[in-house]
Structure 1
């Protein structure tokens, strides 16, 4: 089966640049696409110092939707959103004060890749961290999801007025230029060995993660680099390593839509089914949900139904899993909420905006009732998605009914863009006047 390769090299222009990420592209571009992908043929998508996070997200979504193996080569720098303390991949226009608006949130990348079938997605990453991200990584490793194979390194900030080189990725590219592509884990070790021979990577954090069934029980592990060993506990995680925080939903806010008042951007419909379940203490669950349907991967089966246009079958299957999660863990459990979110997205795919909006409103209300704060990414994402689906309603009566609930929620959960509540109120006024 043909493969897909995404080459993404990004770093700010100007004084904020920590690494010359784009310098690796000529070396990678010299590698045949089939070698980059490890398949007979492959499509290569190249992004060099992109300007807008939404443009990157669009390309990422297209790559994630492609059938067959996907390999992502990622070179760049991580910077922290100082308000929400979330890591972002810096882009060409990113500055410390504008990270939230000009950089790509790391969880966007993770969320777009997480529903791909296990064993089909590999990320090779060469990242440099700014001082704030570097300090946070010591306590909170970078979460890459449970179904993605990730190899690479995160380097500490270089000395002031120094621009580092993506040495790990250059080592990977040099190895691949031989025309031979070893398995990713072996390629990773060979690149680290080459880097060690050159005297680099002494203080790096090494990323090594494999999907369940491939030997890794949790998302990406990070350990101090040693040329010949990884310091690890008996459980397979590096000494001092802490379990990642629960996965967060991607920010679905997107570009303008016709008829939307100036200053407000309508949330864009998500293209993937909802976030992974997590246990109550925030540790990713070792299983996704009870399995009443006899499927090893219900998400893959549901996605196949959606691709085939069998939306009713997809919802029936998801409903069975939701009922099993409610019986096993309770209505307000993360397992049950996960399947409620899946069904909300399935309603969107089926074109039932009212059902999708109602489901997202219920998820958001439930999470708030559980004590989750209005700024929690999962809460914000649920309200944003409800807002988007509300904007798709063609029945004025239904729009008025759901709009009243949405306005109440928007008062509590304003989201990341200014003007959301005002937009709902204006639309409701128009509905009441002309509806």
Structure 2
């Protein structure tokens, strides 16, 4: 006899807040649990009915594995909310989530190996699983995650943020997850990408260097690398410098601009939301949206792809609109390097445009330390990409000499 069970399959939400109890604690992970607990189980799971399993500062990796395995075996949709910190073990250099008893010396045995997530979630049906993470790092894990981007396995959506090593000693607040939980307290769970973008925009400042996670095999791919960047607002950007730089403004030279395209469709193109945020002065929100799409493009198309470079260019211009010439210069330098690494010629219009814009923005930087920090990289680029204007290398060298007070070779 076959029993036909009518109605939707219940979902599961697994809440994991983990951090060492010792001085190695980087984040007050458990502080977000009361906010998440105020969200209904159905909203947490994104289903009509759901069950919630909560792990607060777990001691043992096997305990976490047991709960994860049980949740992964449930038939309905599964959403994992993970708050904590990640480290590399000293012997194998594998990534671990630090649990309550974890120390740098014992991470291999007292931490939860990240690959256990992919191992346990792999058998689940594609599209039925999401992992939302708010993670903090030390220097080693931060570098490792830039070299090898985080993922949760095939068919698993991964959203969230990874914070860089903190300068202060007190544990950080999981601001991203708190913002996300606050959004969910309304009783409505938006689709994961808009939910992630809202949480990032509300929790990260304009200068946040966080790494945003946005990998969803079931989501629509990012738009093609259309050549569109929001137009600058009519008013002067916050903190803009009216100084006339020795290097001419490349933004006024159409033949140097490889990115011309019609205005985006607000119903299908994320650029419309970015434009609206810029025009409203919400520069942090605009930057978070662009960074999120860049991370999606990175995972889907790889570093050096046209899609990734496009979003780097968007971020560079957003920094300019926000009155941060140093960050804009640094990003344009990265764009030029990415294009050269991808095999584009030094005299190609796209590479020259990136170099010219980096040079122009560097001329607008007034902080001496920042000028000295960015100058050598710009000079190295100018040796390879002098551009169509004569004397660009000499201009850069002379300006850096003024800040160093010595000859720059």
TM-score, L = length of structure 1 = 0.51
Deviations 1:130-189 (A, max 9, x none): 111011112111232121011100001112412101100000100011111111111101
Q: Matched residues in 2 for 1:129 and 1:235: separation?
A: 21
Matched residue of 1:227: which SS? Answer: helix
Given that 2:87 and 2:138 are in contact with CA atoms closer than 8 Å, whether structure 1 keeps it comes out as yes
The equivalences for 1:258-297 within 5 A come to none
Q: Matched residues in 2 for 1:72 and 1:235: separation?
A: 20
Counterpart of 1:135?
143
Deviations 1:88-144 (A, max 9, x none): 000000000000000000000111011110110011100001111011112111232
1:230 to 291, 310, 323: 291
Structure 1: where are the runs of 5+ without partners?
Answer: 217-224, 244-435
The size of the alignment, in residue pairs, is 234
- TM-aligned CA deviation for residue 38 of structure 1: 1.1
Q: Matched residues in 2 for 1:56 and 1:228: separation?
A: 33
The equivalences for 1:404-423 within 5 A come to none
Counterpart of 2:264?
none
Q: Do the aligned partners of residues 165 and 201 (structure 1) sit closer, same or farther apart at CA in structure 2, a change above 3 Å counting?
A: farther
Deviations 1:307-329 (A, max 9, x none): xxxxxxxxxxxxxxxxxxxxxxx
2:216 to 210, 235, 238: 210
The equivalences for 1:85-104 within 5 A come to 85-104=93-112
Matched residue of 2:288: which SS? Answer: coil
**Structure number with bigger Rg:** 2
2:177 to 169, 179, 184: 169
The equivalences for 1:104-183 within 5 A come to 104-183=112-191
1:12 to 16, 20, 27: 20
- TM-aligned CA deviation for residue 240 of structure 1: 7.8
Matched residue of 2:87: which SS? Answer: strand
Matched residue of 1:203: which SS? Answer: coil
- TM-aligned CA deviation for residue 201 of structure 1: 7.1
Matched residue of 1:45: which SS? Answer: strand
Given that 2:214 and 2:293 are in contact with CA atoms closer than 8 Å, whether structure 1 keeps it comes out as no
Given that 2:197 and 2:292 are in contact with CA atoms closer than 8 Å, whether structure 1 keeps it comes out as no
Counterpart of 2:263?
none
Given that 2:72 and 2:78 are in contact with CA atoms closer than 8 Å, whether structure 1 keeps it comes out as yes
Q: Do the aligned partners of residues 61 and 228 (structure 1) sit closer, same or farther apart at CA in structure 2, a change above 3 Å counting?
A: closer
Q: Do the aligned partners of residues 232 and 150 (structure 1) sit closer, same or farther apart at CA in structure 2, a change above 3 Å counting?
A: closer
Q: Matched residues in 1 for 2:295 and 2:174: separation?
A: 32
- TM-aligned CA deviation for residue 242 of structure 1: 8.5
Q: Matched residues in 1 for 2:294 and 2:178: separation?
A: 31
Deviations 1:43-73 (A, max 9, x none): 1000000000001000000000000100000
TM-score, L = length of structure 2 = 0.54
Q: Matched residues in 2 for 1:227 and 1:41: separation?
A: 32
Given that 2:215 and 2:296 are in contact with CA atoms closer than 8 Å, whether structure 1 keeps it comes out as no
Structure 2: where are the runs of 5+ without partners?
Answer: 1-8, 223-285, 306-409
Matched residue of 2:203: which SS? Answer: helix
User: RMSD of the TM alignment (CA)?
Assistant: 2.5
Q: Do the aligned partners of residues 43 and 95 (structure 1) sit closer, same or farther apart at CA in structure 2, a change above 3 Å counting?
A: same
The equivalences for 1:23-102 within 5 A come to 23-102=31-110
Given that 2:12 and 2:52 are in contact with CA atoms closer than 8 Å, whether structure 1 keeps it comes out as yes
